[in-house]
Structure 1
Amino acid sequence: MKVIDFFSGCGGVSEGLRQAGFDIAVGLDFDSKAAETYQANFSEALFYNTDIRTLDEKELANAFNEKNKKNDPLVLVACAPCQPFSSQNKAKSEDDIRRTLLDETHRFIVELKPDYIFVENVPGLQKIDKDKEGPYKRFIAFLNNQGYNFVEFIARSEEYGVPQRRKRFVLLASKIGEITIPPKTHGEGLLPISTVRDFIGDFPVIKAGETHPDDPWHRCPPLNERNLERIQYTLEGGDRRNWPEHLINNCHKIHSGHMDVYGRMSWDKPAPTLTTRCYSYSNGRFGHPDTNQHRAISVREASRLQTFPMDFEFKGSIAEASRQIGNAVPCEMAKQFGLAIQKHYLDYGKASKN
């Protein structure tokens, strides 16, 4: 099965689908550093580092058909930027041009006629234009008009083998029969939920501001004197409630929320949702769980908590690589969805022969 990955970022979905046995044929993303990372890891794919609005659908279809001489089934991935729909984005606006990027996929779907479509975004995408015409409502009407069966659901990444609590909205569409929610792999009655320890417990010790000599991405930024003192007081799984009074910000003395800020992770639980600033101790519960390591998690540790393989290559600065990691779909979750798509296709093939 072939994959075209629109809004690919650094390649979380592509990596997961490749692990599931798919051929990654085409990637597209506007971000130049994410494009460098993608191309370093998916040299087999044709890549467009461009705005989808400027790309001609017939040009892409012709290029894809050259790579798909056997007419293998196609999965089109469309994980458009989530910031215009995120509840964390207090400055979101209906004038944000990224809101209409999902609309741009319509003409490619008409031209390419993919067998499957995979859309992932923040929970709330399906609600934000519920009572009026908007990009998601238009997309659903388009899928119905094109004869696709589809299922919508909220996926919890920890229920698909990812050591991280991360809720995402997912739509899977099929041209070849009714499709259902992929079965969970982890949780009650299934495999145990993966933990931080499972994925980063064996990493070598480093200090804040250090880079390990054997892995240029096992590195993290330095901490200022005040934050170094704060993290030294912070227990595993702890936060500012562990600190002496003089280390607590005045705003936190009168506000009891946002306890994840300046927190340490817990070894034997999933990580919190990794954001684009997952390298920063002061921007979430991104402190290392080992109380002998007074630092934020490293870039490589963050990538492992998103289930990227150890040899995945990143391009850019610490901040740029962390943005790519935080924006990515966890590879293992994408892999499980890919395996479900494969099974659906095989089941359909068997049914059609009968």
Structure 2
Amino acid sequence: MRAVDIFSGCGGMSLGFEQAGFKVVAAFDNWKPAVEIYRANFTHPIYEKDLCDEDSVETIKELRPDLIMGGPPCQDYSIAGKRTEGARANLTIRFAEIVAGVLPEWVVFENVYNIERFGTLPRMKAMLKDAGYGLSSRVLDASRCGVPQARKRFILVGRLGAEDGFFDESFVEGMAEKQMTVRDYLGDKLGTQYYYMHPRSYNRRAVFSVDEPSATIRGINRPIPENYKRHHADAAAIEDGVRALTTKERSYLQSFPEEFKLEGAKTSVELAIGNAVPPALAKYVAERVLKYENGVEQ
């Protein structure tokens, strides 16, 4: 199946879909640092393009995708910032406009789990339903889908001519019963039992053990502050050999493989990693789509 990745970021979704067996024919994004990382890791083209341009639908239609996937920038929904619906939220609507204009057989949409609190999502769903798609959606815990990270993401899957809820069972049929820990995924590769991840606020813990899933990887990576005061839920004291993770190690926790190249300025690379769809989560969804498609064909 041919897939096009829109609002692709540095390529987490593309990588997972390729690993599952899709032929990703092109990607589109408008943030240069992510485009450069994507370009360094894939042989198919990525276009640095504003998808609000009028010619976007025709450009994508010429690629004849069986599936369009994407995760439009979500900062305006994110719990990491103010809960507002600004210009970025309109990219969710633009995603639906592109899908409705191209009409691929399948659509996969990914976003922050709390997008369900906002009015943009029902508008997007209504546009896709009007275009003929049956829809299923679920908040998935990445740590039950092959990622060593307690990251919750909203996934919507649509198929032309299907009934709403058609994919509900597929979402859960391969889900692990227990959360994947960092040690489950990496063994002793980090060379440390405990590590520091800078919290959103100091009301939250910041020290984790490799024998649990990591916290959500965000777009910033800061060293341990000299005056850090231990949180009651920290897995260890800083003095117990705790260290911050490198950029590359954070990419592992997002399930990017060793060979994935992270080129560019450190702050941009960190942001690209934090914004990415974990490839293993994308692969989990992609495998279920293929299984459903093959079951329908037989």
Q: Check whether TM > 0.5.
A: yes
CA distance in structure 1 between the partners assigned to 2:180 and 2:73 by the alignment: 27
For the pair 1:258 / 2:243, whether they are aligned, the reply is no
Where does residue 220 of structure 2 map in the other structure? 277
Q: 1:316 maps to what in 2?
A: 264
* SS of equivalent residue, structure 2 residue 208: coil
- The residue number in structure 2 matching 1:161 is 146
Q: Is residue 2:143 matched to residue 1:195?
A: no
Structure 2: how far apart are the matches of 1:237 and 1:58? 45
CA offset at residue 83 of structure 1? 0.5
Cα 1:298–1:145 shift into 2, 3 Å? same
d(CA) in 2 for partners of 1:333 and 1:162? 7
CA distance in 2, matches of 1:293, 1:320: 28
Residue 175 of structure 1: which of 155, 160, 163 is its match?
160
Kindly indicate whether the alpha-carbon contact (under 8 Å) linking 2:195 and 2:245 is maintained by their aligned counterparts in 1: no
CA distance in 2 between partners of 1:287 and 1:319 (Å) = 27
- CA separation in 2, counterparts of 1:174 and 1:286? 44
Show the counterpart of 1:29. Answer: 29
2:113 to 96, 116, 123: 123
State the match for 2:8 in structure 1.
8
Aligned match of 1:215: none
Contact 1:163 1:305 in 2 (8 A): yes
Q: Which letter does structure 1 place at the counterpart of 2:137? A: E
Q: CA deviation at 1:204?
A: 6.5
Q: What's 1:49 paired with? A: 48
Contact 1:78 1:102 in 2 (8 A): no
Contact 1:279/1:297 (8 A) holds in 2? no
Would the alpha carbon gap of residues 305 and 290 (structure 1) be closer, same or farther in structure 2, given more than 3 Å must change? farther
3-state SS of paired residue (1:85): coil
Letter of the structure 1 residue corresponding to residue 250 of structure 2: A
Q: Structure 1 residues 21 and 281 mapped into 2: Cα distance closer, same or farther (>3 Å)?
A: farther
Pairs within 5 Å for 1:298-337 = 298-337=246-285
Does the C-alpha gap of structure 1 residues 11 and 279 become closer, same or farther in structure 2, counting only changes over 3 Å?
farther
Alignment gaps of 5+ in structure 1 = 66-72, 130-134, 207-234, 240-255
| Post-superposition CA distance 1:227-269 (Å, at most 9, x none) | xxxxxxxx94799xxxxxxxxxxxxxxxx96232xx2221211
Change in Cα spacing, 1:272 to 1:2, as seen in structure 2 (3 Å) is same
Letter in 1 for 2:103: K
Deviations 1:26-60 (A, max 9, x none): 1111110100011111122x321121112513541
State the identity %. Answer: 29
Which whole-Å deviations, capped at 9, do the CAs of 1:293-318 have from their partners, x for residues lacking one? 54211111111111111100112122
Helix, strand or coil at the partner of 1:54: coil
Return the offset for 1:63. Answer: 4.1
* Aligned partners of 1:205 and 1:293 also within 8 Å: no
Is residue 100 of structure 1 aligned with residue 90 of structure 2?
A: yes
After TM superposition, the score normalised by the length of structure 1 is 0.73
Distance in 1 between residues matched to 2:237 and 2:18, nearest whole Å: 31
CA RMSD of aligned residues (A): 3.0
Structure 2 equivalent of residue 141 of structure 1: 126
Q: Distance in 2 between matches of 1:289 and 1:345?
A: 50
Cα shift at 1:169: 1.2
Residues 1:199 and 1:288: Cα distance change in structure 2 (over 3 Å): farther
CA distance in 1, matches of 2:216, 2:140: 13
| Distance (whole Å) between structure 1 residues aligned to residue 217 and residue 224 of structure 2 | 12
In structure 2, distance between residues paired with 1:335 and 1:317: 28
Contact preservation (8 Å) 1:287, 1:295: no
Which residue identity lines up with residue 60 of structure 1 in the other structure?
T
* In structure 1, distance between residues paired with 2:173 and 2:144: 6
Alignment gaps of 5+ in structure 2 = none
**How far apart, in 2, do the equivalents of 1:38 and 1:201 lie?**
27
Q: How many residues align?
A: 286
Partner SS for 2:261: coil
Distance in 1, matches of 2:78 and 2:136, equals: 21
Q: Is the 8 A contact 2:99 2:128 kept in 1?
A: no
**Greater C-alpha Rg:** 1
